[in-house]
A and B are shown apart, each in its own frame.
Chain A
Amino acid sequence: MELEMRQVRNILIVRIEGEMDMLRADQIREDIDKKLDNSEIRNLILNLEKVTFIDSSGLGMILGRYKKLNSKNGRMYIAGARPQVEKILYFSGINKLITMYRNEQDVINLQGR
């Protein structure tokens, strides 16, 4: 399963592929935290376009990154969630904390203003 990370200005963009369950959530958490802890990046876009499944372990990973960035006055965004993933994000209430966008470019454009 791929995890692609790139940086645009002060935004870390993470593209996740596949299923976000307990196994994957731990790996993703480690990779993102390593990047965030070793840089001045304060903003994170999670691109979920290629995520086909999410459970409470995946949701917990997202919430944890939100709390981490929030404590540093950073912002977090979710982009491109498919309907079946979006449904679970709404069920969890994460959408009340983290703004969801259609795609990552929308967030980058918004940040550039």
Chain B
Amino acid sequence: MNVRNYCKLEIMSLPENISFARACVGAFASQLGCTLDEIDEIKLVVSEAVSNSIIHAYQNRGTELITIVITLLDGQTLEIIVEDYGKGIEDVARVLQPSYSSEPSRMGLGFSFMKSFMDELEVISQPGEGTSVQMRRSFVSKDKEAYA
């Protein structure tokens, strides 16, 4: 797929930066002409992925880095990659199970939201090196929907 637009954002692993990250991705996604509901869903998945990096990968150390890469591809497809360089996930399949949670205060819904609101989700992780959460979603433009 051809790249139509691209943005790379690097933030410190601070809770204060979660709202900034999701607002940036939401603003970037708005050029797809998607609905406000869809933008809310995109903001939610970014919030979940970045929160996971802060809480699980870095165990709340605010001095580390998280990279967010947003790419607009042909066919109204948005790709979001959230990467950290933290402790990694030993068993990715287990973490992706519904309601899996190592942190009871967050209900284990993070990956469930990502799976539900994105078309594709891939989690690549290397224990001790970090995790890359890669998500894609295609949107039907409102104009095309009107003619459908």
Contacts and interface: CB of A to CB of B under 8 A. Distances in A.
A105 B148 CA distance: 44
Contact of B109 (A22, A29, A56, A84): A56
A89 to B, nearest CB: 11
B109 A92 contact: yes
B62 to A, nearest CB: 11
B106 interface: yes
Query: Per DSSP, are chain A's interface residues mostly helix, strand or loop, or mixed?
Result: helix
B110 A56 contact: yes
B19 to A, nearest CB: 6
B143 interface: no
Interface size on B, as a range, is 20 to 34
Contacts of A64: 104-105
Interface string B96-107: 000000011111
A23 interface: yes
Given A19-B19, A21-B18, A53 B105 contact: no
Interface in A5-37: 19, 21-23, 25-26, 29
B34 to A, nearest CB: 14
Contact of A56 (B16, B22, B43, B48): B48
A45 interface: no
Contacts, number: 59
B30 interface: no
A55 B105 contact: no
Interface size on A, as a range, is 20 to 34
A56 B111 CA distance: 10
Given A22-B51, A22-B55, A92-B109, A55 B44 contact: yes
B47 interface: yes
Interface in A67-111: 84, 88, 91-92
B54 interface: yes
Given A56-B106, A60-B104, A84 B48 contact: no
B28 interface: no
Contacts of A61: 105
A13 B54 CA distance: 31
Contact of A53 (B43, B109, B110, B116): B43
A63 B15 contact: no
A53 B44 CA distance: 8
Contacts of B48: 55-56
Interface of B: 15-16, 18-19, 22, 37, 40, 43-44, 47-48, 51, 54-55, 103-110, 113, 116
